[in-house]
Structure 1
Amino acid sequence: MRKPYMRIPYTDILASPTIIPQTATTISGAIAALQEFFGATSAKSSPSTVVLTGAGISVASGLADYRGPNGTYRVNKTYRPIYYSEFLQNHEARKRYWARSFLGWTTLLKGKPNAGHYAVKHLGDLGLVRSVITQNVDSFHPKAHPQLPTIELHGYLRSCVCTSCHEELPRDTFQHELARLNPAWAVFLQEILASGALDTENPDERRARGLKTNPDGDVDLPDAPYTTFRYPACPRCLTSPPAIADGSPAKVEVDTDGAWMPTSTAGILKPAVTMFGENIRVPIKAAAEQAIENAGSLLVLGTSLATYSAWRLAKRAKDRGIPIAIVNLGGVRGEETFFADLDPSQKGSQGARIELSTDELLPALVEQLRQSSNIKVAAEGHGHSPEQHGASVFKDMMS
């Protein structure tokens, strides 16, 4: 395997946080701090808090985070995501990516928003949250609160997008095409779903359930290796090839079954996510920055802010002088930047740093806040645990 094109940031354990205020070590203390935090801006006529979330908020839905105690970078030291340039340039790398993604997609479909996502919705219902910026690509935020605006900073897995014409294709449609083009893999997928082998991130547990994996976590399937995997071309480019730099039409060729052929010069479909080494779309970047500019405070949930795209938004909020509260299990990149100048006697109105799980803390916070509100919070059917939906899904879909 070739060396990574760029360094993956902050894969080592980050320093433990200093809890702010000191009383926020318990659920009741954290609730009190966040009540102070929201109270600092709630007198305004419209909600002014923007929420910034990361993989930690989806752990209770059964999805693995990256840098948490049981995150992908901890469990599998050899893991690395695919890089954008590698995906574009390497047909074999795309085969491997789509084969692993094919196995992971069914697990993602079973995943649902958890209590933390719905608590964010209720904070919006209570008039406390203006919008959400999420690094997550699982689409749980827009599912949980379609009326509360969500900016998906790093894109979403629910669609594929053509690298040539930029047309989107629903991921479930693409999945059906992958199954049609790869019948042996489709049978294998049904077998491993029945075995429960995809319900764990642990290679030994996967192996015990009949799924053989190589040391780097790849699926070992001798009868259908990655080199045999096929994927479709962009339907639009196939019927109307786009122009290349000199103005002539690109070449999009498929085999007799409709699988993309390496003689093609266009029509490559990729997940509609921002891969490592790929730039965030300009409109999305601008919308996220504008959301921070319009915010009266920033609530960070379930992220170590290790990726610069997220950290810079938090830093922008800090530079504006607005209160910042961070709820995350484990350390946060450069978190002293956000709290060094706080008044030691403040109770949360200027900022808070809390190390509790979002799915436990946020519903309790909502319940406390709603007691003084006329808005009734509807009960959602959560009932999710990591074992239900498979913590390995993003490892299989993003590598």
Structure 2
Amino acid sequence: MKKPLMRIPYTELLPPPAIIPHTARSLPGAIAALQEFLHAPPPRDDLPRSTVVLTGAGLSVASGLADYRGTNGTYRVNKTYRPIYYHEFLANHEARKRYWTRSFLGWTTLRKAAPNAGHYAVRDLGRLGFVSSVVTQNVDSFHPRAHPEIPTLELHGYLRATVCTSCRGELARDVFQTELARLNPMWDTFLREAIATGALETEDPHERRARGIRVNPDGDVEVPGAPYTTFRYPACPRCLSSPPTLADGRRATVEVDNDGAWSPTSNAGILKPAVVMFGESIADSVKQAAEQAIDGAGKLLVLATSMATYSAWRLAKRAKDRGMPVAIVNIGGVRGEEVFFAGLDPNQTGTQGVRLEMSTDSLLPALVEQLQQPLLRNVEASAEAAAFLENDAAVFKNMLQ
């Protein structure tokens, strides 16, 4: 397969950030700055008091998933890695075989992974009244699982389903995975053996490579030298039973082999992951929903993303242009981050903006714990007052006897 001509942006390390405020280099200082940021009223009366959160792949690293541009991200440790592009997936049967083989091997590990302390801290920030909604670039569905009560927009889609490129109908990924296993018994055996040996369990990329496996973001498992050409994948069941109409008005052809695998004689019924692939456009409805999430808040908290993709960066820029204070927590540089902190008072302590370089899985739970202290003190004081009144009532009752 030819190397794609489309350039993947920002695969090299970005310049290190300037910490804002300067007192936020330690954990206590960082917590204090974020407390100031979350408690401060918006700079204008027409801005809501709530905060919208924008997250990226770094938030899921603590769950054992790979990221793209982090210190140990795929672009650092696997220089030959290139994700499949949307046009390749649509046009090339062999490219789809390769994609689904690697995704088949990676789905079990991704399916077993769970939200981490950072995701649950976002939940707690919502329960405390600070966070109104979440926009995530992640496709692992950890946010909706960790805090279903907080509206979450999955900007780049989700891996929990596949979607037909013809009829747009969805098929649950677990159902699709079962079909892949049925159509590819040798690959299913290989996967079971890899699971049994722990080759897919270790989080050490060097150990994985020693076992002949490379784990990339979004459940992509690479086995160098593997015969991807033998892999088979199912057709869209809806299109198979009722072929759709093509753009030119002709009835589409959807055919399968004797086992039910999609046949290259077909011109429709191709299932793809329900994610926005490289080179694919985000649906207008999703773009509008993301803009509404930004416009419905008064502050933006960016977590664990370099915002290398324009779809995320433009949302942060929209927030800045609306006059919303921006806080960014990310290890490593962020694309064009100087834009978000231009014009800040050098003596401000977090109310106008915050830039931290810390791990979210340690910082966010500590922040939540600190924010909960006044509430806990109020609860304790209420309990003491209730006990005092109960004691007084008992004394008064005794006096009447």
Q: TM-score by structure 1 length?
A: 0.89
- Would the alpha carbon gap of residues 234 and 168 (structure 1) be closer, same or farther in structure 2, given more than 3 Å must change? same
Which of 274, 287, 304 is the equivalent residue of 1:285? 287
2:344 is paired with a residue whose SS is coil
Query: 1:219: which partner in 2?
Result: 223
- Would the alpha carbon gap of residues 324 and 296 (structure 1) be closer, same or farther in structure 2, given more than 3 Å must change? same
Q: Displacement of 1:195 after TM fit?
A: 1.6
Runs of 4+ in 1 over 6 A off after TM superposition: 42-46
1:36 is paired with a residue whose SS is helix
8 A contact 1:46–1:127 mirrored in 2? no
The separation in 2 between residues aligned to 1:255 and 1:7, in whole angstroms, is: 37
Query: 2:96: which partner in 1?
Result: 94
Q: Displacement of 1:111 after TM fit?
A: 0.5
Q: Displacement of 1:337 after TM fit?
A: 0.6
> In the alignment, residue 6 of structure 1 is paired with which amino acid?
M
Query: 2:248: which partner in 1?
Result: 246
8 A contact 1:162–1:267 mirrored in 2? yes
8 A contact 2:139–2:157 mirrored in 1? yes
1:12-51 correspondence runs (5 A):
12-41=12-41, 48-51=50-53
Among the aligned pairs, what percent are the same residue?
72
> In the alignment, residue 14 of structure 1 is paired with which amino acid?
L
RMSD of aligned Cα (Å): 2.2
> In the alignment, residue 283 of structure 2 is paired with which amino acid?
R
> Larger Cα Rg: Structure 1 or Structure 2?
2
- Would the alpha carbon gap of residues 146 and 328 (structure 1) be closer, same or farther in structure 2, given more than 3 Å must change? same
8 A contact 2:103–2:221 mirrored in 1? no
The separation in 2 between residues aligned to 1:361 and 1:220, in whole angstroms, is: 38
The more displaced of 167-176 and 239-248 is 239-248
1:314 is paired with a residue whose SS is helix
Query: 1:162: which partner in 2?
Result: 164
Q: Deviations over 1:176-220 (max 9, x none)?
A: 0000000000000011111222235766523543x367xx98314
Which of 161, 181, 184 is the equivalent residue of 2:183? 181
- Would the alpha carbon gap of residues 328 and 205 (structure 1) be closer, same or farther in structure 2, given more than 3 Å must change? same
The number of residue pairs the alignment matches comes to 373
Q: Deviations over 1:156-179 (max 9, x none)?
A: 000000000000000000000000
The separation in 1 between residues aligned to 2:205 and 2:308, in whole angstroms, is: 26
1:1-399 correspondence runs (5 A):
1-41=1-41, 48-200=50-202, 205-209=207-211, 211=212, 218-220=222-224, 225-373=227-375
- Would the alpha carbon gap of residues 188 and 221 (structure 1) be closer, same or farther in structure 2, given more than 3 Å must change? farther
Q: Displacement of 1:41 after TM fit?
A: 2.9
- Unaligned segments of structure 2, at least 5 residues: 215-219, 379-401
- Unaligned segments of structure 1, at least 5 residues: 377-399
- Would the alpha carbon gap of residues 79 and 207 (structure 1) be closer, same or farther in structure 2, given more than 3 Å must change? closer
8 A contact 1:82–1:97 mirrored in 2? yes
8 A contact 2:48–2:296 mirrored in 1? no
1:173 is paired with a residue whose SS is helix
Q: TM-score by structure 2 length?
A: 0.89
> In the alignment, residue 100 of structure 2 is paired with which amino acid?
W
Greater relative CO (CA pairs within 8 A, separation 6+)? 1
1:197 is paired with a residue whose SS is coil
Q: Displacement of 1:46 after TM fit?
A: 7.1
Query: 1:390: which partner in 2?
Result: none
> In the alignment, residue 82 of structure 2 is paired with which amino acid?
R
The separation in 2 between residues aligned to 1:92 and 1:304, in whole angstroms, is: 33
The separation in 2 between residues aligned to 1:101 and 1:118, in whole angstroms, is: 27
- Would the alpha carbon gap of residues 307 and 150 (structure 1) be closer, same or farther in structure 2, given more than 3 Å must change? same
8 A contact 1:318–1:338 mirrored in 2? yes
The more displaced of 175-184 and 42-51 is 42-51
The separation in 2 between residues aligned to 1:271 and 1:152, in whole angstroms, is: 14
- Would the alpha carbon gap of residues 178 and 217 (structure 1) be closer, same or farther in structure 2, given more than 3 Å must change? closer
The separation in 1 between residues aligned to 2:206 and 2:48, in whole angstroms, is: 52
